[in-house]
Structure 1
Amino acid sequence: MAPQYAPSLRSRLPLVTFLLETIFLLLFVFFVKIEQHEPREFDQKTFIRLYAEFQDIHVMIFMGFGFLATFLVRYGFSGSGFNLLVAAMATQWAVLMNGFLLPQRHHNGAIYINMKSVIEAELCAASALVAMGAVHGKTNPVQLLLMALVEVTGFVVNQWIVRILLHADSLYSIMLLHVFGSLFGVMTSWVLHREQIRREKPEKEKTDSRTGLFAMLGTLFLWIFWPSFNSAVVYKKWETGLKLKVIYGTYLSLAVSVVIAMSISMLSSSKGKMNMVHIQRSALSGGVAFGVAMTAVQAPWIAMTIGFCSALLSALGCRYMKSHMLFAFECHDTCGVLNVHAIPGILGWFALLFLRLAGTESTIALRFAVHHICVLLITLCMSLVMGIATGLFLKLRIWRPQQDRKCFDDQAFWEFPHLVVKL
């Protein structure tokens, strides 16, 4: 039977979505145009390459992240469905935000959309999906939509600051999406935490063989296409071989991550068995860490070392950190994004800093270190502050937050015809 007394979103979700889409349509009408290419500048081979990368990222965003969020035994509809809703809305907003703030995307007051801008927009949407992973099950779709719009805005503004004001490399700045999105989501979850959820959630937060298999399918989609995710933003340096180095390095880092994740999961278990949920997360950590450090990695063994260290930290974090965070800080991270994205992302930042410092002179190295530290500190501050502010905003009663006993439950939002009681 459908849950009684669940707060209806009929007067909230349709109104918010229609209003947002109307605003987006008007902005697209007045500001967005399709970029026209000369044949000599945009040949068929370039189009095929860019479209293939777009397809890979598209699969990751809508299938990889979607299936990955279905591991909760009573939250499969919401995990995949809300992922689709948020990703579709966040991509539209990211196209506009990138166009308004990043100078290479607009000209004469118009935003020109092309394959590259759509790829970057989906990477921004990925940052919002990472943040959403921390609050799955404790928020309704209206709150998730608003959270995603704020997160994308903050991430694009952060990119503008580090690119325009600090002159950071565009490849490096956009790959900070893992650090920004995860910390944003964790802080939002911390503000939204309610003590009653801790007592209501144990049964609903479990996984079973069916949901675990679907979540593993999402992991496989992400794992297979992650080299495209890291290399898609490499545009102008195709001839130098950087793109190929990124693809090879990402694969090697991911391969090592899988092996170490399974080993640590079994080693840290009291029964000597592997935990599928931990492996689903930690197997991806190598791709996250390498993506942040990819511009400085020149040798395959360095990529493999990054994958080894990231999987080690991520697997141990998945095993021990989640419960300790809930006990010590009252912060519940549903999908463990802190261990999957934040810690590997910061590890990749340290690897990038070390590799750059090792290959430069002392004076230049000191200047680079200060600049590099400023970029990370700005990203951390922006994500933490905006995450707290967003959490306070989403706590307003106007958004009809879930009842404690309806958290992690699909029946609060979805129809189940086979459960309807005929009178």
Structure 2
Amino acid sequence: MAPQYAPSLRSRLPVVALLLETIFILFFAFYVEVQHIFSITFYAEFQDVHVMVFMGFGFLSTFLVRYGFSSTGFSLLVAALAVQWAIVFRVLLQLPYPGRITIERLVLAEMSAFSSLISMGVVIGKTNPVQLLLMSLMEVTGFILNEWLIQTLLKVKLKHIIMYLHIYGAFFGIMTSWTLYRKGIEPRHEKEKSDRKMTLFSFFGTLFLWIFWPSFNSAYLLNKDMDFAVPLNVICSTYLAMAVSAVTAIALSVLFNPRGKLNMRHVQNCILAGGVAVGGTMSTFPQPWVAMAVGLSAGIMSTLGHQYIKPLMEIVFKCHDTCSILSVHGLPGILGWFVRLFLQIANFDSTTIAVRFTVYHILILLITLASSLTMGVITGIILKWKLWRPPQDRKCFDDQAFWKFPHLAKHE
């Protein structure tokens, strides 16, 4: 039987990528300018978020034994395009006023790219780079439109809705994966496995995310409020929550194994849950122990989700989540939403005000979920088109479908 080669993207990827870049350059030439305001503090926050987006996420998904090149390379491709599109689309929503680039705007754009990388983690290994580019465009568009809709209808400040990126990205990716369901790669592909070397690389990405996550949660608060007490509280809360969630994930990993051994997938994913939950609250904690309790709850929820919910989704709902994004970002994000609601209600003296705030808070979540689920389904339908030449079932989770390996080349 003749070998099956992956379909070439030579007539797809260069056209899509270069066309988009040409459009972006022309748009920047006519509508975008640089605002010359510089701050060392803002730049430090930008650097931390920059490392998380391009290095943390780049290495995080390299646990797949035959997909290391694609995990890092496609993450760079998606993030680089998503940042540009986030800037362009935010300017489009502000026309006819000129768009101005500041460090603050760049941080906001990279947060939008962060959301697209979350979605990418659900479908990675089962899609090609053209599909991932299109997915990032759709995800960033939906995420920013969701922000604009909530700000317009409910008059919510951007700083209170930006961290819904965890919830939006997770459920957007889940619905896209569900729509892209194919029997040939579900529920478990023969190449969807890891080894010691690739798992070590993946844990390297986890450590980068774990170290810089306090900056990520505090970046937009610092830039907007200029009240250093608020970011400092969020930084301390994030660190404490992540420390507790790390210990919790490791302990539960041993508990779930019949022989009492650690599962590296639990460790490299679930130790981030505390940071996600604190980011979802976007509020200060009255006492440090509250943040630690949130980290404990997030660690338990994330590890349980990875152990039981992920396999259940694959078998019952026909939804494959490659990097267990629902357990790492979706569920802890929902937990953070509940924590913020509870903390805010506890400060109200009037029951009527508390009820109104609860309804108001629920509406924000429902709009976000409806937007992410709808856009995820639409994106999945678009990505299923044969026009994009999706990878064959046997070529999924395999670098050789997209990358040149000189030592494997046929010499003529």
Normalising by the smaller structure, the TM-score range is over 0.9
1:312 partnered with 2:300? yes
1:33-92 C-alpha deviation (Å, 9 max, x unpaired) = 11134xxxx5xxxx1101111110110000000000101000000000000000000000
Q: Which amino acid aligns with 2:270?
A: S
Instruction: Quote the offset at 1:362 in angstroms.
Output: 1.1
Whether the 8 Å contact between 2:187 and 2:320 is mirrored in structure 1 is no
Gaps of 5+ in 1: none
Asked if the contact 2:187/2:315 (under 8 Å) is kept, the reply is no
Q: Deviations for 1:131-188, whole angstroms, at most 9, x for unmatched residues?
A: 0000000000000000000000000000111123212232221000000001000100
* In structure 1, C-alpha distance between the alignment counterparts of 2:281 and 2:87, rounded to whole Å: 26
Partners in 1 of 2:305 and 2:224 — Cα distance? 37
Where does residue 65 of structure 1 map in the other structure? 57
Counterpart among 87, 90, 113 of residue 98 in structure 1: 90
1:77 matched to 2:69? The reply is: yes
Instruction: Map residues 132-281 of structure 1 onto 2, 5 A cutoff.
Output: 132-198=120-186, 201-202=189-190, 204-234=191-221, 235-239=223-227, 241-281=229-269
- Alpha-carbon contact 2:169-2:372 (below 8 Å) kept: yes
2:105 & 2:388 partners in 1: Cα distance? 32
CA distance in structure 2 between the partners assigned to 1:315 and 1:236 by the alignment? 34
Equivalent pair of 1:250/1:290 in contact (CA under 8 Å): yes
> Equivalent residue for 2:339?
351
Q: Displacement, 1:96? A: 1.2
Structure 1 length-normalised TM: 0.94
Alignment of 1:325-404 (within 5 A): 325-360=313-348, 361-404=350-393
How far apart are residue 358 of structure 1 and its match? Answer: 1.1
Once the two structures are superposed, the pairs formed by residues 292-303 of structure 1 within 5 Å of their partners are 292-303=280-291
Matched, 1:30 2:17: no
Do 1:56 and 1:229's aligned partners in 2 also have CA atoms closer than 8 Å?
yes
SS for the counterpart of 1:134 is helix
State the AA in 1 paired with 2:207. Answer: L
How far is 1:214 from its partner?
0.3
Alpha-carbon distance in structure 1 between the residues aligned to 2:380 and 2:205 = 28
Shift of 1:206: 0.9
Q: Aligned letter for 1:273?
A: K
Distance 2:288 2:107 in 1: 27
Q: 1: distance between equivalents of 2:60 and 2:259?
A: 25
Corresponding letter in the other structure for 2:158: S
Identity fraction in percent: 55
In 1, distance between residues paired with 2:154 and 2:139?
Answer: 21
SS in 2 for 1:33: strand
Runs of 4+ that moved beyond 4 A: none
Task: Please tell me whether the aligned partners of residues 254 and 285 of structure 1 are also in contact (alpha carbons under 8 angstroms).
Answer: yes
Mapped contact 1:245–1:298 kept (Cα < 8 A) = no
2:234–2:284 contact (8 Å) kept in structure 1: no
1:374-422 Cα shifts (integer Å, max 9, x gaps): 0000000000010001000000010001101100000000000011232
Question: What CA distance in whole angstroms lies between the structure 1 residues aligned with 2:188 and 2:262?
Answer: 27
Name the aligned partner's letter for residue 195 of structure 2.
D
CA distance in 2 between partners of 1:5 and 1:129 (Å): 28
Q: Residues of 1 paired with 2:332 and 2:66: CA distance?
A: 29
Aligned to 1:232, the other structure's residue is in SS state: helix
In 1: Cα distance, 2:105 partner to 2:224 partner: 14
Q: Give CA-to-partner distance per residue, 1:324-359, whole Å, 9 cap, x none.
A: 111001100000000000000000000011111111
C-alpha distance in structure 1 between counterparts of 2:157 and 2:382, whole Å:
33
SS at match of 1:333: coil
Q: Is the 8 A contact 2:91 2:99 kept in 1?
A: yes
Q: Distance in 1 between matches of 2:376 and 2:246?
A: 31
For residue 411 of structure 1, the aligned residue among 400, 403, 412 is 400
Tell me, yes or no, if the aligned pair for 1:310 and 1:347 is still in contact at 8 Å. Answer: yes
TM-score (norm 2): 0.97
Structure 2 Cα separation of the partners of residues 74 and 89 of structure 1? 25
Specify the code of the residue in structure 1 equivalent to 2:376: G
Aligned residues: CA RMSD: 1.4
Q: How much has 1:119 moved relative to structure 2?
A: 0.3
How many residue pairs align between the two structures? 409
Deviation at 1:321, TM superposition (A): 1.4
Cα distance in 2, alignment partners of residues 172 and 32 from structure 1: 26
1:289 maps to 2:277: yes
Task: Report how far residue 200 of structure 1 moved.
Answer: 7.0
**1-structure distance, mates of 2:301, 2:279:** 17
* Residue 178 to residue 130, structure 1, CA distance change in 2 (3 Å): same
Q: Distance in 2 between matches of 1:304 and 1:100?
A: 41
Amino acid at match of 1:26: L
Q: Partner amino acid for 1:369?
A: T
